[in-house]
Amino acid sequence: MSTQAAAKSPAKKTGGLAGVVAGQTAISAAGGAHNLEYRGYSIYDLAEQAEFEEIAYLLLYGRLPTLRELKHYKNNLKNQRDLPAALKEILERIPSDSHPMDVMRTITSFLGHLEPESKEHDQIAVANRLLALYPSALLYWWHFAHNGGLRINPVTDAEGIADHFLTLLHGRQPSALHRKAMNVSLILYAEHEFNASTFAARVIASTLSDFYSAVTGAIGALRGPLHGGANEAAMELISRFKTPGEAVSGVKSMMAQKQLIMGFGHRVYTEADPRNIVIKSWSKKLSEEAGSLALYNVSEAIEKLMWDEKKLFPNLDFYSASTYHLMGVPTSLFTPVFVMSRITGWAAHIFEQRANNKLIRPSADYTGPEKREFISVEKR
């Protein structure tokens, strides 16, 4: 295709489906006057006042739980943390240098063999089981692979998912501040309209495939650095610099080479990512608690430079990096933590897609050769 043809092509104009409304949803609204709302509730109110399980309930059941319902729900999740023996066996066979996102994909896919979706184990039961089991399964593998074959007990008494995860990771209960920071982070990552992984899940669900297939596909989409993988890439970036000055000159030279600065920019927001405003304040709190603002100051210097030079703002992934790092979460577990939360948003979208299904199958603008004659292999 010629350059001219490419410039005129409608496909070029809508590259990556930017600005294309690809369907309807009642689950969340992102961008514009809504800023970010989950089922009509502002992300700021939810992050400040709710706990993650309330948000999971809101997304999966369509409304906020009462105190009694929340208690019951948390207990229900707590009782589903243990791992089937066959899953432990599989986790022990995964190479220790595997990326933890590949482990999340395998956990999901393998659980689909052991506990397939059925009338008895319906979509909401599968969603809750994955939500309850992900931290246990991920950290069972992590300790086995990285601590000389250590087989941890994947069940804890922790009340919620945030403290269950941190307790299993560190082998001790988290501080109240870390528990709250992880809760806030899980709330911020829970749902975000038609992002790439959610859309992938909806496309798979629209073929009437099963729940596990839709989530496995979504994990694959989330893994890339243009999407969920950006939080790991952002950590890799900020940890390169010791001082704000070093960060400014380092990022300037990256920009001169037209490199992408991970954790900046967004398809939907134009001036700021509301989730970043929240997580940035937590990054600062944790830095102050740790008595070192080094990473935070490096991050802020990059933020200022990106805005001054390119009018680009940090997205949720940028300050999530220092927040997780300050809680002692290894960098390669950042995107799996995103999965532990986003399973709720994916599930809500799979339910919504199924409730009013129509196969998602867009058309393409053909740009290949004109019709031509087939020449048999002997004559070519």
Residues that bind ligand COA (CB under 6 A): 16, 18, 226-227, 230, 260-267, 312, 315, 317
Cα separation, 36 vs 53, whole angstroms:
19
Measuring CA to CA, how many Å separate 166 from each of 44, 265, 337?
Answer: 24, 30, 11
- The closest of 108, 74, 276 to 188, measured between CA atoms, is 276
Of 127 and 219, the one with the shorter C-beta distance to ligand COA is 219
- Which residue number, 99 or 170, has a Cβ lying nearer to ligand COA? 99
Nearest approach, Cβ of 161 to ligand COA (angstroms)? Answer: 22
Provide the minimum distance between the beta carbon of 218 and ligand COA in the complex, in angstroms, as a whole number: 15
In the annotation, is 170 catalytic?
no
Among 118, 121, 124, 112, smallest CA distance to 57 is for 124
Least distance from ligand COA to the Cβ atom of residue 236, Å: 12
Please say which residue, 29 or 290, places its beta carbon nearer to ligand COA. Answer: 29
* Distance from the first to the final alpha carbon of the chain: 23
Instruction: Give the C-alpha separation, 28 to 60, whole Å.
Output: 12
227 as an active site residue: the answer is yes
> Residue 374 and residue 372: Cα distance in Å, rounded?
7
By CB atoms closer than 10 A (0-12, 13-18, 19+), residue 273 is buried
* Spatial distance between the Cα atoms of 332 and 315, rounded to a whole number of angstroms: 19
Minimum CB separation of residue 337 from ligand COA in Å reads 15
Give me the helices (H) in the chain, please: 3-8, 10-13, 43-49, 52-61, 67-78, 85-93, 100-114, 123-146, 161-170, 176-189, 196-206, 211-222, 230-238, 244-256, 274-290, 294-310, 316-326, 334-355
CB 363 within 8 A of CB 256: no
Q: Of 78 and 266, which has the nearer Cβ to ligand COA?
A: 266
Task: Say which of 34, 99, 170, 227 is annotated catalytic.
Answer: 227
Is 325 an active-site residue?
no
Which residue among the candidates 143, 163, 178, 317 is catalytic per the annotation? 317
Q: Which residue is nearest to ligand COA (CB)?
A: 265
Report in angstroms how near the CB of residue 245 gets to ligand COA at its nearest: 20
157/309 with CB nearer ligand COA: 309
- The amino acid that residue 5 corresponds to is A
What distance in Å separates the CA atoms of residue 78 and residue 231, rounded to the nearest whole number? 28
Nearest-Å Rg of the Cα atoms of the chain is 22
Rounded distance between C-alpha atoms, residue 286 and residue 294, angstroms: 12
CB of 252 to ligand COA, least distance (A): 12
In the complex with ligand COA, the residue whose CB is nearer, 205 or 230, is 230
Q: Which is nearer to ligand COA, 91 or 200 (CB)?
A: 200
Please give the Cα distance from 26 to 355 (Å, whole number): 12
Instruction: Report, in Å, the least distance between residue 107 CB and ligand COA.
Output: 23
Q: Is 106:85 a contact under the CB 8 Å cutoff? A: no
Catalytic choice (178, 266, 325, 349): 266
Residues labelled catalytic: 227, 266, 317
